[in-house]
Amino acid sequence: MSAALPDDALPPVIEPGQNSSTITTEISAVTLERPTGWLWIIGLLISLALSGLLFVGFCWLLYAGVGIWGLNIPVAWSFAIANYVWWIAIGMGGTFISAGMCLARQPWRSSINRFAEAMTVFAVSVSGIFPILHLGRPWFFYWLFPYPDVMNVWPQWRSSLEWDFWAILAYLIVSLAYWYVGMLPDLATLRDRSPTLAKARFYGLLALGWRGEARHWMRFEQFNLITAGVAVALVFSVHSMVALDFSEALVPGWHETIFPPFFIAGALFSGFAMVLVLGIPLRRFYGLQAFLNDRHIVNMAKMMLCAGLFVDYSYFSEIFTAFQSMDRYDFAMTLHRLYGAYAWAFWGTILLNVLNIQLLWIPRVRRSHAAVFLIAIGVLIGMWLERFMLIVSSLYEGFVPSAWGMFWPTFWDLAFLAGSVGLFFLMFLLFARLLPVLSMFELRKLAHQGGSGGVERGGEP
């Protein structure tokens, strides 16, 4: 399709004339020399406030119980699980960009994979909070772990929640390792360019004494390449687990074979959206135009559109299957979803996840950073709505009409959602200030290989 679009006019991956020196100087300067901007400080204060709210909610939750949320029977899950799925899905995008496209040899990813990976780590950490806090007795969450206890009782391995536990665990650690190890050479750069001894020591410790020895690079690349492969496998397996959290149940609206691919597509969808939401301002405020330009934005936009189309197909097929199977309960559930008390969630999802992204077919829109930014925001909201819709509108009117009930969020439901956003941005802002936001060594390599020639385009779905 890209052939049909005048994307050939796109700038090269990195601005011509960039070489190791300039790359090193400019990017490390972002961390080492650039004075802390007031925008950054405001952002930090806001996210600190929200994180504070999250903490208060956390304490109150531990004291009073999950009853502070609007949960009930039949709707025993809602916001917390929606938040969890939403965040872990956002993480997916980062991993896919750094790992998947590394395997696919997409050089333009070099400019974005670092902060995309950071995004992954933070999103997964945030998402990990929810399954635990969501428990009735959070302090016993470790019972999901098969340690040799004096009760001689083990986890119940058939439960998708158990699978999910392992998935999150693996995913968090792997993405952390991949991110950190990949950052070593750049940390070394910062170490060696630190203006003060304190900074030098800080980065010196983090860099673990990286020296760029030929041997270092050899093992480093071996590790990176295989881990990239593993990470891709992980992306798909982890989100399949998340999908199974629902489809293992026999609840109409959950019990669907399409869920794993559906959730993976949704994950990439929201992940790409978040990368854009983070990348576009980052580029602007840190003057990284040389490394992040229209090409990256356009390519990301295309990938988001592509993932979005998969998601839209899933919506369609879900509804189609319901009507085609004419299973009494599935059918009823679909009608409730479309016209029931939570129809607004469904149609909101359609508006934001289906109609919204169709704008990206237009090249001009793709190139307008503002437009792409707004569309991406819309997608993020839409994906949250989708999770809410999937969970609540499947639960609230189940098999036995006498047990039908409604869910209404309480203040704390909203507080935890806002708080999680705050926590995520808190971590990301600190990252942007303290760690290399772009992968310098990869850009150097790219520059060295003449990547600045803009020979390859890539990334088109």
Partner 1 sequence: MRVGPLSTRNAGAHKDGGLAQIFSRHFGFLFRLAALAALVIVTALILLWRAVMAYPAGVHDALEQPIPFSHKHHVGDDGIDCRYCHTSVERSAFAGIPPLSTCMTCHSQLYTDQPMLKPLIAAYESGVPFHWQRLHKLPDFVYFDHSIHIAKGVGCETCHGRVDEMPLMARVAPLTMQWCLDCHRAPQKYLRPHDQVFSMGWHAKDQLALGERLLREYHIDTRRLTDCSVCHR
Partner 2 sequence: MLGLLAEFADAEQLRGAVLRARHEGYADIEAYSPYPVDGLTEAMGLRRAHVPFWMLLGAICGGGFTYWLEWYSTVVNYPINVGGRPPFSWPAFLPPALEMTLLWAVLAGALAMLIGNRLPRVHHPLFAVRAFDRATGDRLFLLLRVANSNLEARRAHAFLKTLSPLSISEVSE
Partner 3 sequence: MSSSKVPPFDLDAARAQLRDTRGPRYWRSLEELADGEGFQAWLKAQFPQLAQDAPLDRRGFLKFIGASMALAGLTACSHPPQTELVPYVHGQDEWATGLPRYFATTLTRNGYAQGALVRSDEGRPTKVEGNPQHPASLGATDIFAQAAILQLWDPDRSQSVMRGDIVATWEDFAAEWLVLRARFDRNGGAGLRVLTRTLTSPTLAAQLEALQNKYPDARWHVHEPGGASLSRGMDASGLPRSVHYRFDRAKVILTLDADFLSDPAAGVRYSHDFISGRDPERGAMSRLYAVEPTPSVTGMMADHRLPLESARIHGFAQALAQRLGVANIGSTGGFVPSSDHARWLDAVAADLRSTQNASLIVAGFAQPPEAHALAHAMNVALGNVGNTIGFGAPIEALPAQALAPKANDDGSLRALASAMRVGLVDTLLVLDGNPVYDTSADLAIADALKHVPHLLHLGLYRDETGTLAEWHLPLAHALEAWGDARAFDGSASIAQPLIAPLYGGKSAIELMSLLLEGNFSDGRALVRQQSASQLRDDDAWNAALKSGVISNTAMTVTSVSPPFPRKRGSSDFHAIESNILDARLSRNDKALELLFRPDPAIGAGEWSNNGWLQELPKPLTQLTWDNVALISPDLAKRYKLNNGDVVELRSHGGKLHAPVWIMPGQATHSVTVHLGYGRTRAGHIGDGIGYNANALRTSDSPWQADDLQIVATGENCELATTQHHFNMEGRDLVRESTLSEYLRDPQSAVAHDKYGEKPPSLYPDYLKGEYAWGMSIDLNACIGCKACTIACQSENNIPVVGKDQVHRGREMHWIRVDHYYEGDAETPTMLSQPVPCMMCEHAPCELVCPVDATVHDSEGLNVQVYNRCVGTRFCSNNCPYKVRRFNFMQYADKQTPQYEAMRNPEVSVRRRGIMEKCTYCIQRIETAHIAADKESRRLRDGEVVTACQAVCPTRAIRFGDISDAQSQVSKAKASPRNYAMLAELGTRPRTTYLARIRNPNPALKDET
Which residues are at the interface with partner 2 (CB under 8 A)?
19-21, 24, 146, 152-158, 160, 162-163, 166-167, 169-170, 173-174, 177-178, 181, 185, 188-189, 191-193, 204-205, 207-223, 226-227, 230-231, 233-234, 237-238, 241, 244, 440-442, 444-445, 448
Q: Which is nearer to partner 2, 226 or 355 (CB)?
A: 226
Query: Closest approach of Cβ 435 to partner 3, in Å?
Result: 26
**Contact with partner 3 (CB under 8 A): which of 19, 103, 137, 208?**
137
| One-letter amino acid of 389 | M
Interacting span for partner 3 (CB under 8 A) from 42-50, 143-151, 182-190, 227-235: 143-151
318 vs 307: CA distance, rounded Å? 17
Q: How many residues bind partner 3 (CB under 8 A)?
A: 57
45 vs 39: CA distance, rounded Å? 10
Neighbour-count burial of 315, counting CB atoms closer than 10 A to its CB (0-12 exposed, 13-18 middle, 19+ buried): middle
| Residue ranges in 147-186 that form contacts with partner 1 under rule CB under 8 A | 147-153
- C-alpha pair distances (Å), 112 with each of 90, 300, 343, 363, 372: 15, 10, 37, 21, 16
Q: Does 390 bind partner 3 (CB under 8 A)?
A: no
| One-letter amino acid of 312 | D
Judged by beta carbon distances under 5 to 8 A according to partner kind, the member of partner 1, partner 3, partner 2, none in contact with residue 77 is partner 3
Query: Closest approach of Cβ 100 to partner 1, in Å?
Result: 32
Q: Does 191 bind partner 1 (CB under 8 A)?
A: yes
> What stretch of H or E contains 9?
none
Return the SS3 of 345. Answer: helix
Instruction: Give the tokens for residue 206.
Output: 């983090």
Q: Which is nearer to partner 2, 69 or 210 (CB)?
A: 210
Q: Which is nearer to partner 1, 195 or 401 (CB)?
A: 195
Judged by beta carbon distances under 5 to 8 A according to partner kind, the member of partner 2, partner 3, partner 1, none in contact with residue 400 is partner 3
Query: Closest approach of Cβ 442 to partner 1, in Å?
Result: 18
Interacting span for partner 3 (CB under 8 A) from 75-83, 100-108, 278-286, 437-445: 75-83
Query: Closest approach of Cβ 328 to partner 2, in Å?
Result: 23
288 vs 341: CA distance, rounded Å? 47
Q: Which is nearer to partner 2, 223 or 310 (CB)?
A: 223
**Contact with partner 1 (CB under 8 A): which of 204, 279, 378, 382?**
204
Q: Which is nearer to partner 2, 207 or 322 (CB)?
A: 207
> What stretch of H or E contains 248?
none
Residue 10 contacts residue 412 (beta carbons within 8 Å): no
| One-letter amino acid of 94 | G
Query: Closest approach of Cβ 190 to partner 2, in Å?
Result: 8
Judged by beta carbon distances under 5 to 8 A according to partner kind, the member of partner 1, partner 2, partner 3, none in contact with residue 332 is partner 3
Residue 277 contacts residue 308 (beta carbons within 8 Å): no
Q: How many CB atoms lie within 10 A of CB 454?
A: 18
428 vs 126: CA distance, rounded Å? 11
Interacting span for partner 3 (CB under 8 A) from 46-54, 146-154, 191-199, 214-222: 146-154
Instruction: Give the tokens for residue 374.
Output: 């707004």
Q: Does 326 bind partner 3 (CB under 8 A)?
A: no
Judged by beta carbon distances under 5 to 8 A according to partner kind, the member of partner 2, partner 1, partner 3, none in contact with residue 173 is partner 2
168 vs 141: CA distance, rounded Å? 13
Q: Does 76 bind partner 3 (CB under 8 A)?
A: yes
Q: Which is nearer to partner 2, 26 or 312 (CB)?
A: 26
Return the SS3 of 409. Answer: coil
300 vs 460: CA distance, rounded Å? 9
Which contacts (CB < 8 Å, 24+ apart) does range 97-100 have?
97/271, 97/272, 97/275, 98/178, 98/182, 98/228, 98/231, 99/178, 99/227, 99/228, 99/229, 99/231, 99/232, 99/235, 100/228, 100/231, 100/232, 100/235
Nearest of 326, 301, 255 to residue 108 by alpha carbon: 301
Judged by beta carbon distances under 5 to 8 A according to partner kind, the member of partner 3, partner 1, partner 2, none in contact with residue 177 is partner 2
**Contact with partner 1 (CB under 8 A): which of 5, 44, 68, 192?**
192
Q: List contacts with partner 3 (CB under 8 A).
A: 62-67, 70-77, 134-144, 147, 149-151, 153-156, 158-162, 165, 245, 248-251, 328, 332, 395, 397-406
